[in-house]
Amino acid sequence: MAFQCRKTAEVDASNHLVHSVDRLLEEQVEIESHREKENVTFESKIENLEFENLKPTSEFHPKRGTLTLYNVKSLPVDEALLNYSRLASEHDVWKEYYYERWGQPIVRTPLGLGYSDEKTWKELFVEREFRSKTFLGRYSIDVLYGHTEAVRTVFLLASKKLIFTSGYDSIVRMWDMEEGLAITSSRPLGCTIRAVAADTKLLIAGGTDGFIHGWRAKEGLSYLFDLKGSQNQNTEFRRWEHEGPITCLALDLTRIYSGSWDMTIRVWDRSLLKCLKVLRHSDWVWSLVPHDTTVASVSGSDVYVWDSDNWSQSAFVSNVHAGNIYSLARSHTGKLLFTGGEDGAIHMFEISNHCGENNLQQVATWIPHSGPVYSLSFEFPWLVSASSDGKLSLIDVRKLLKRSRHAAPGNPKRSNDSYQKNVEPPQRMLHGFGSNLFSVDIGSDRVVCGGEEGVVRVWNFSQALEIEKRARALRGMRLENRMRRRKLQIDMNGKGGRAEQCSVAAKKNLVNGDRNGVWHNKHGVRSKLKA
């Protein structure tokens, strides 16, 4: 009889769980008509994970048809809950949240219904967030020798683990990021190379003679570009349009952007290699960063934002720094803009769109260097800067966002007071070099820098990642052991608690009995003595 009651209770519990899963699924379907309430609920969950900076841009609601893939009633309870949890983890909101911070992941293939060992978007996000903490840990420095004169530009292609450098010796060099060894180098291009940009299909370099020299990727080549090969028009090209030295280059999927001291930015068709548009400025162009439908640039001491649909000027801020603005960086979302200038200061702007117009709002400023800031590079949440004082500064942007929370565009009264006050100093300084540092880049647990010494330095933080993983595993083991000991203690107290109480009570009674016996004995002795 007892067995039958227990079995009935288990069946009732199973049915209760199945019905609860049904209610969960029905609630998720009904959420599509209550998006506002649902968005608040999910954002509160994100805040509990202490992701304070950015909010998901999309609402958390299931895709149409995804929940009809499973007949939940026909599945065991554990399997149904597992499938539902995996669907929630793989939802587009985690994907968009990842893309907003870091863009497309280096290694990612679609997750199929077979549920292979591939990671969900939620797992990718948590792992990348964990990796971002490595720049606070230990590092080793690799010094790459090969250039005979100062290095003016460095570029890190993290997806292929390649480093490209060039400078006054007019030679473009390619390095293996992992091994720290030279792979190949180009022939002398005839003038100083001040800018290099690359992706997996194209490598371009800009010279002080006003030309753009480029190499197309070669199929079957592990390191993509044959820099030493014969001058083949199919894989190598050179274009002349600028009337002054080229100072900055950038690539996107369809265009090439080049900025020059001739006070122009030229936009090129990537496939035809023809100039499509000329954007004119009032002074020398020092840096540019394209993103989606806008292009940000700096000229003299001014900041420009251009609309790439009609090539009109959509935002402009003058006299940002005391002197020229030498460097520019931008977040993956395109909403945060960083400038570094001749005065050693770094400013952070927020780009907002109001009624179809872009607005630049300065939300933070600080002065980490004693000399001009020649280069900036950004990978969420770290902004790294290189200066003529021979120092690198690593700044955690999340700290700045906390300080500038009251300086949002919605609070114009507080914004003026907020950005005029210098926020806290950089999170970390890397120094020890007495010469100018001209260029810096960050990515894949590395910081790459080149300067006047003619060498390339690579700060390798991968060791910090391994140490942090081991420390995390040890913390987990200690927590598990602590919980195990606590559970054993609770079990022991539960089993022996009644017996201990009885034994304590018996001891108390025994003591009281002895005392009473002694008292009676003494009383008896006294009565006898009186008699």
pLDDT value, residue 256: 97
Q: What is the pLDDT of residue 496?
A: 65
pLDDT tens digit at each of 531 positions of the chain: 444 444 444 445 445 544 554 554 455 445 444 444 444 444 444 344 443 444 443 333 434 334 444 444 444 555 556 665 665 655 667 777 666 666 666 554 444 333 345 677 777 777 777 777 778 888 889 999 999 999 999 999 998 999 999 999 999 999 999 999 999 999 999 999 999 999 999 999 999 999 999 999 998 898 999 998 766 778 899 999 999 999 999 999 999 999 999 999 999 999 999 999 999 999 999 999 999 899 999 999 999 999 999 999 999 999 999 999 999 999 988 889 999 999 999 999 999 877 767 788 998 888 989 999 999 999 888 999 999 999 999 988 876 666 555 444 444 444 444 444 455 656 788 876 778 999 999 988 899 999 999 999 999 988 777 777 777 788 888 888 888 888 888 888 887 655 555 555 555 555 455 444 444 454 554 554 444
CA 195/CA 207 separation, integer angstroms: 7
Tokens 């299909």: give the residue: 201
Q: What is the pTM of this model?
A: 0.70
- pLDDT for the residue numbered 494: 80
Which amino acid would we find at residue 310?
Answer: N
CATH code, 145-401+426-467: 2.130.10.10
d(CA 115, CA 119): 9
- DSSP character for 310? T
- Domain regions of the chain by residue span: 145-401+426-467
Residues 6+ apart with CB under 8 A from 96: 56, 57, 58
The three-state secondary structure class of 449 is strand
Closest CA to 437 of 337, 331, 367, 344: 344
Residue 369 CA to residue 480 CA, distance in Å, equals 46
d(CA 182, CA 175): 4
Residue with tokens 């009935």: 8
The token duo for 489 is 């203690």
At 358 the pLDDT is 77
Residue with tokens 């597992």: 82
- Residue 269: per-residue pLDDT: 96
